[in-house]
Protein backbone atom coordinates (compact mmCIF):
# COMPACT_ATOMS: atom_id res chain seq x y z
CA UNK A 1 0.00 0.00 0.00
CA UNK A 2 0.95 3.63 0.45
CA UNK A 3 4.18 4.97 1.78
CA UNK A 4 4.83 6.22 5.28
CA UNK A 5 4.65 10.01 5.53
CA UNK A 6 6.41 11.69 8.43
CA UNK A 7 5.79 15.41 8.91
CA UNK A 8 7.85 17.47 11.35
CA UNK A 9 7.34 21.15 10.55
CA UNK A 10 10.11 23.51 11.68
CA UNK A 11 9.36 25.15 15.03
CA UNK A 12 6.33 22.95 15.79
CA UNK A 13 6.35 20.68 18.89
CA UNK A 14 4.60 17.99 16.89
CA UNK A 15 5.18 15.06 14.53
CA UNK A 16 2.49 13.61 12.27
CA UNK A 17 2.94 10.08 10.93
CA UNK A 18 0.50 8.66 8.39
CA UNK A 19 0.20 5.53 6.28
CA UNK A 20 -2.54 3.62 4.57
CA UNK A 21 -2.65 -0.14 5.22
CA UNK A 22 -4.34 -2.79 3.05
CA UNK A 23 -6.61 -4.16 5.77
CA UNK A 24 -9.96 -3.41 7.41
CA UNK A 25 -9.92 -1.11 10.40
CA UNK A 26 -10.88 -3.79 12.94
CA UNK A 27 -7.82 -5.84 12.00
CA UNK A 28 -5.50 -2.82 12.17
CA UNK A 29 -6.96 -1.98 15.58
CA UNK A 30 -6.34 -5.54 16.78
CA UNK A 31 -2.71 -5.31 15.63
CA UNK A 32 -2.36 -2.11 17.71
CA UNK A 33 -3.97 -3.44 20.90
CA UNK A 34 -3.28 -7.20 21.12
CA UNK A 35 0.16 -7.43 22.77
CA UNK A 36 1.00 -10.71 20.98
CA UNK A 37 0.43 -9.02 17.62
CA UNK A 38 2.08 -5.76 18.68
CA UNK A 39 5.29 -7.62 19.55
CA UNK A 40 5.43 -8.87 15.95
CA UNK A 41 5.67 -5.45 14.29
CA UNK A 42 6.44 -2.54 16.62
CA UNK A 43 10.04 -1.36 16.48
CA UNK A 44 13.13 -1.75 14.31
CA UNK A 45 13.69 -5.21 12.80
CA UNK A 46 17.03 -5.76 14.52
CA UNK A 47 15.63 -5.41 18.06
CA UNK A 48 13.77 -8.00 20.12
CA UNK A 49 10.47 -6.75 21.47
CA UNK A 50 9.01 -7.86 24.81
CA UNK A 51 5.65 -6.51 25.90
CA UNK A 52 5.57 -6.50 29.69
CA UNK A 53 2.08 -5.06 30.08
CA UNK A 54 -0.54 -3.63 27.75
CA UNK A 55 -3.64 -2.74 29.71
CA UNK A 56 -5.85 -1.39 26.92
CA UNK A 57 -8.41 0.68 28.85
CA UNK A 58 -8.86 4.20 30.20
CA UNK A 59 -6.01 4.79 32.68
CA UNK A 60 -4.36 1.48 31.78
CA UNK A 61 -0.59 1.27 31.78
CA UNK A 62 1.60 -0.21 29.05
CA UNK A 63 5.30 -1.08 29.03
CA UNK A 64 7.58 -2.80 26.55
CA UNK A 65 11.29 -3.37 26.19
CA UNK A 66 13.42 -3.44 23.05
CA UNK A 67 16.64 -5.46 23.35
CA UNK A 68 19.52 -5.37 20.88
CA UNK A 69 21.87 -8.20 19.95
CA UNK A 70 24.40 -7.04 22.59
CA UNK A 71 21.75 -7.36 25.29
CA UNK A 72 21.19 -3.62 25.77
CA UNK A 73 17.59 -3.06 26.85
CA UNK A 74 15.50 0.05 26.10
CA UNK A 75 12.31 0.41 28.12
CA UNK A 76 9.25 2.45 27.16
CA UNK A 77 6.00 3.01 29.03
CA UNK A 78 2.89 5.13 29.10
CA UNK A 79 -0.79 5.30 29.96
CA UNK A 80 -3.92 5.05 27.81
CA UNK A 81 -6.19 8.10 28.07
CA UNK A 82 -9.82 7.28 27.32
CA UNK A 83 -10.99 3.86 26.23
CA UNK A 84 -9.12 2.83 23.06
CA UNK A 85 -11.52 2.23 20.16
CA UNK A 86 -11.13 1.35 16.46
CA UNK A 87 -11.61 5.08 15.83
CA UNK A 88 -8.95 6.51 18.14
CA UNK A 89 -6.25 5.52 20.62
CA UNK A 90 -4.76 8.17 22.93
CA UNK A 91 -1.70 7.30 24.99
CA UNK A 92 1.29 8.90 26.62
CA UNK A 93 4.80 7.69 25.80
CA UNK A 94 8.04 7.85 27.79
CA UNK A 95 11.47 6.49 26.93
CA UNK A 96 12.96 5.36 30.23
CA UNK A 97 16.42 6.52 29.11
CA UNK A 98 15.18 10.13 29.21
CA UNK A 99 13.04 10.52 32.35
CA UNK A 100 10.81 13.58 32.50
CA UNK A 101 10.30 13.70 28.75
CA UNK A 102 6.77 12.70 27.82
CA UNK A 103 4.82 12.82 24.58
CA UNK A 104 1.11 12.46 23.96
CA UNK A 105 0.14 10.31 20.95
CA UNK A 106 -3.27 10.39 19.29
CA UNK A 107 -3.76 7.64 16.70
CA UNK A 108 -6.83 7.76 14.47
CA UNK A 109 -7.88 4.83 12.28
CA UNK A 110 -10.00 5.70 9.26
CA UNK A 111 -11.52 3.02 7.04
CA UNK A 112 -11.23 3.93 3.33
CA UNK A 113 -12.88 1.16 1.33
CA UNK A 114 -10.61 -1.86 1.68
CA UNK A 115 -7.81 0.09 3.34
CA UNK A 116 -7.28 1.90 6.63
CA UNK A 117 -5.51 5.20 7.07
CA UNK A 118 -3.54 5.24 10.32
CA UNK A 119 -2.48 8.69 11.47
CA UNK A 120 -0.59 9.46 14.67
CA UNK A 121 -0.16 12.99 15.97
CA UNK A 122 2.56 13.22 18.62
CA UNK A 123 2.43 16.28 20.89
CA UNK A 124 5.76 17.11 22.55
CA UNK A 125 6.59 19.22 25.62
CA UNK A 126 8.88 21.37 23.46
CA UNK A 127 10.30 21.75 19.97
CA UNK A 128 13.67 20.68 21.44
CA UNK A 129 12.14 17.39 22.58
CA UNK A 130 10.63 16.90 19.14
CA UNK A 131 13.94 17.62 17.43
CA UNK A 132 15.77 15.22 19.77
CA UNK A 133 13.42 12.42 18.78
CA UNK A 134 13.92 13.13 15.07
CA UNK A 135 17.71 13.21 15.61
CA UNK A 136 17.51 9.81 17.38
CA UNK A 137 16.67 8.22 14.02
CA UNK A 138 13.02 7.75 14.89
CA UNK A 139 12.36 7.48 11.15
CA UNK A 140 14.09 4.12 10.80
CA UNK A 141 11.98 2.65 13.60
CA UNK A 142 8.76 4.01 12.12
CA UNK A 143 9.50 2.74 8.59
CA UNK A 144 10.54 -0.71 9.85
CA UNK A 145 7.44 -0.88 12.03
CA UNK A 146 5.11 0.05 9.20
CA UNK A 147 6.63 -2.47 6.80
CA UNK A 148 6.41 -5.18 9.42
CA UNK A 149 2.80 -4.22 10.20
CA UNK A 150 1.95 -4.41 6.49
CA UNK A 151 3.45 -7.92 6.35
CA UNK A 152 1.65 -9.02 9.53
CA UNK A 153 -1.69 -7.71 8.27
CA UNK A 154 -1.23 -9.65 5.01
CA UNK A 155 -0.60 -12.83 7.02
CA UNK A 156 -3.62 -12.22 9.25
CA UNK A 157 -5.86 -11.58 6.24
CA UNK A 158 -4.78 -14.90 4.74
CA UNK A 159 -5.04 -16.71 8.10
CA UNK B 1 4.47 40.26 42.43
CA UNK B 2 4.62 40.01 38.67
CA UNK B 3 1.70 39.72 36.32
CA UNK B 4 0.43 36.54 34.70
CA UNK B 5 1.71 36.12 31.14
CA UNK B 6 -0.25 33.86 28.81
CA UNK B 7 1.31 33.07 25.43
CA UNK B 8 -0.64 31.34 22.67
CA UNK B 9 1.20 31.81 19.39
CA UNK B 10 -0.91 31.52 16.22
CA UNK B 11 -0.74 28.06 14.67
CA UNK B 12 1.06 26.46 17.63
CA UNK B 13 -0.62 23.60 19.56
CA UNK B 14 0.73 25.05 22.80
CA UNK B 15 0.02 27.56 25.56
CA UNK B 16 2.68 28.92 27.91
CA UNK B 17 1.59 30.46 31.22
CA UNK B 18 4.13 32.16 33.49
CA UNK B 19 4.07 34.17 36.69
CA UNK B 20 6.47 35.02 39.47
CA UNK B 21 5.20 34.48 43.02
CA UNK B 22 6.54 36.11 46.20
CA UNK B 23 7.33 32.86 48.01
CA UNK B 24 10.08 30.25 48.22
CA UNK B 25 9.83 27.33 45.82
CA UNK B 26 9.08 24.71 48.51
CA UNK B 27 5.99 26.64 49.56
CA UNK B 28 4.79 27.09 45.97
CA UNK B 29 5.31 23.37 45.40
CA UNK B 30 3.27 22.55 48.52
CA UNK B 31 0.44 24.76 47.25
CA UNK B 32 0.49 22.78 43.98
CA UNK B 33 0.52 19.30 45.53
CA UNK B 34 -1.32 19.44 48.88
CA UNK B 35 -4.99 18.96 47.92
CA UNK B 36 -6.21 21.03 50.90
CA UNK B 37 -4.14 23.98 49.69
CA UNK B 38 -4.94 23.38 46.01
CA UNK B 39 -8.68 23.61 46.73
CA UNK B 40 -8.09 27.12 48.12
CA UNK B 41 -6.73 28.65 44.92
CA UNK B 42 -7.23 26.58 41.76
CA UNK B 43 -10.05 27.81 39.54
CA UNK B 44 -12.29 30.85 39.12
CA UNK B 45 -13.39 32.58 42.34
CA UNK B 46 -17.11 32.01 41.71
CA UNK B 47 -16.81 28.19 41.57
CA UNK B 48 -16.59 25.75 44.44
CA UNK B 49 -13.65 23.38 44.19
CA UNK B 50 -13.72 19.79 45.47
CA UNK B 51 -10.59 17.67 45.15
CA UNK B 52 -11.69 14.04 44.91
CA UNK B 53 -8.22 12.52 44.60
CA UNK B 54 -4.72 13.88 44.19
CA UNK B 55 -2.24 11.02 44.16
CA UNK B 56 1.03 12.93 43.75
CA UNK B 57 3.37 10.23 42.43
CA UNK B 58 4.46 8.67 39.14
CA UNK B 59 1.33 7.19 37.55
CA UNK B 60 -0.91 8.68 40.25
CA UNK B 61 -4.36 9.88 39.29
CA UNK B 62 -5.97 13.19 40.20
CA UNK B 63 -9.54 14.39 39.89
CA UNK B 64 -11.39 17.52 40.99
CA UNK B 65 -14.79 19.05 40.42
CA UNK B 66 -15.76 22.70 40.04
CA UNK B 67 -19.37 23.50 40.94
CA UNK B 68 -21.16 26.75 40.13
CA UNK B 69 -23.88 28.47 42.18
CA UNK B 70 -26.60 26.70 40.12
CA UNK B 71 -25.15 23.32 41.06
CA UNK B 72 -23.64 22.55 37.65
CA UNK B 73 -20.56 20.37 38.14
CA UNK B 74 -17.48 20.33 35.88
CA UNK B 75 -15.12 17.41 36.38
CA UNK B 76 -11.43 17.27 35.44
CA UNK B 77 -8.91 14.48 35.79
CA UNK B 78 -5.48 13.37 34.72
CA UNK B 79 -2.39 11.39 35.62
CA UNK B 80 1.02 12.45 36.96
CA UNK B 81 3.92 11.39 34.76
CA UNK B 82 7.17 11.00 36.69
CA UNK B 83 7.49 11.81 40.38
CA UNK B 84 6.46 15.43 40.98
CA UNK B 85 9.32 17.45 42.49
CA UNK B 86 9.81 21.11 43.46
CA UNK B 87 11.61 21.43 40.10
CA UNK B 88 8.96 20.01 37.78
CA UNK B 89 5.46 18.54 37.72
CA UNK B 90 4.23 16.71 34.59
CA UNK B 91 0.58 15.74 34.35
CA UNK B 92 -2.11 15.09 31.79
CA UNK B 93 -5.40 17.00 31.93
CA UNK B 94 -8.87 16.12 30.65
CA UNK B 95 -12.11 18.04 30.96
CA UNK B 96 -14.82 15.43 31.35
CA UNK B 97 -17.22 17.52 29.27
CA UNK B 98 -15.01 16.92 26.21
CA UNK B 99 -13.93 13.25 26.28
CA UNK B 100 -11.02 12.32 24.05
CA UNK B 101 -9.36 15.72 24.34
CA UNK B 102 -6.22 15.52 26.43
CA UNK B 103 -3.43 17.99 27.13
CA UNK B 104 -0.03 17.43 28.64
CA UNK B 105 1.10 20.06 31.19
CA UNK B 106 4.70 20.57 32.27
CA UNK B 107 5.08 22.97 35.20
CA UNK B 108 8.56 24.12 36.18
CA UNK B 109 9.28 25.99 39.43
CA UNK B 110 12.38 28.16 39.45
CA UNK B 111 13.60 29.88 42.62
CA UNK B 112 14.76 33.46 41.93
CA UNK B 113 15.98 34.95 45.18
CA UNK B 114 12.90 35.43 47.34
CA UNK B 115 10.48 34.67 44.51
CA UNK B 116 9.56 31.63 42.41
CA UNK B 117 8.86 31.66 38.69
CA UNK B 118 6.11 29.18 37.85
CA UNK B 119 5.88 28.30 34.17
CA UNK B 120 3.42 25.82 32.65
CA UNK B 121 3.73 24.60 29.06
CA UNK B 122 0.55 22.92 27.84
CA UNK B 123 0.92 20.64 24.82
CA UNK B 124 -2.32 20.06 22.89
CA UNK B 125 -3.36 17.34 20.44
CA UNK B 126 -4.09 20.02 17.83
CA UNK B 127 -4.17 23.77 17.26
CA UNK B 128 -7.99 23.47 17.15
CA UNK B 129 -7.99 22.03 20.68
CA UNK B 130 -5.72 24.82 21.84
CA UNK B 131 -7.96 27.47 20.24
CA UNK B 132 -11.06 25.89 21.81
CA UNK B 133 -9.52 26.19 25.26
CA UNK B 134 -8.60 29.85 24.68
CA UNK B 135 -12.15 30.50 23.41
CA UNK B 136 -13.58 28.90 26.57
CA UNK B 137 -12.27 31.88 28.57
CA UNK B 138 -9.43 29.93 30.09
CA UNK B 139 -7.76 33.28 30.79
CA UNK B 140 -10.25 34.28 33.48
CA UNK B 141 -9.68 31.01 35.33
CA UNK B 142 -5.91 31.37 35.14
CA UNK B 143 -5.87 34.98 36.35
CA UNK B 144 -8.27 34.25 39.21
CA UNK B 145 -6.21 31.19 40.19
CA UNK B 146 -2.95 33.12 40.19
CA UNK B 147 -4.37 35.98 42.29
CA UNK B 148 -5.81 33.48 44.76
CA UNK B 149 -2.51 31.60 44.89
CA UNK B 150 -0.65 34.88 45.59
CA UNK B 151 -3.05 35.57 48.46
CA UNK B 152 -2.75 32.03 49.84
CA UNK B 153 1.05 32.14 49.72
CA UNK B 154 1.03 35.45 51.62
CA UNK B 155 -1.16 33.85 54.32
CA UNK B 156 1.07 30.77 54.52
CA UNK B 157 4.21 32.90 54.83
CA UNK B 158 2.68 34.80 57.75
CA UNK B 159 1.32 31.59 59.34
Chain B residue numbers touching A79 (CB-CB < 8 A): 59, 79, 81, 92
- Contact check, Cβ <8 Å, B81/A81: no
Interface predicted TM-score (ipTM): 0.94
Q: Give the separation between CA B30 and CA B26, rounded to whole angstroms.
A: 6
- Contact check, Cβ <8 Å, A82/B59: no
Min Cα distance A47 → chain B (Å) is 26
Chain A residue numbers touching B82 (CB-CB < 8 A): 94, 99-100, 102
CA distances to A151, B134, B147 from B128, rounded to whole Å, are: 35, 10, 28
**pLDDT digit string (tens) for A30-60?**
999 999 999 999 999 999 999 999 999 999 9
pLDDT value at B50 more than 60: yes
Q: Give the separation between CA B69 and CA B52, rounded to whole angstroms.
A: 19
> The domain that contains B109 carries what CATH number?
3.30.530.20
With pLDDT > 70 as the criterion, what percentage of chain B qualifies?
A: 99
The total of structural domains in chain A comes to 1
Min Cα distance B48 → chain A (Å) is 26
- Residue B78: which domain range? 5-158
- Contact check, Cβ <8 Å, B79/A79: yes
Q: What is the mean pLDDT of residues B42-57?
A: 96
Per-residue pLDDT band for A159 (boundaries 50, 70, 90) equals confident
A92 CB near a chain B CB, below 8 Å?
A: yes
pLDDT value at B1 more than 60: no
**pLDDT digit string (tens) for A99-127?**
999 999 999 999 999 999 999 999 999 99
Amino acid sequence: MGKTRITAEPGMPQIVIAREFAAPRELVFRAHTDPDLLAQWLGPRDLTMTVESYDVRDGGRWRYVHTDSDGNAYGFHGIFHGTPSPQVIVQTFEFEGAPGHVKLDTTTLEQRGATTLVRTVSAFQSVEDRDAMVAADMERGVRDSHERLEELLATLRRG
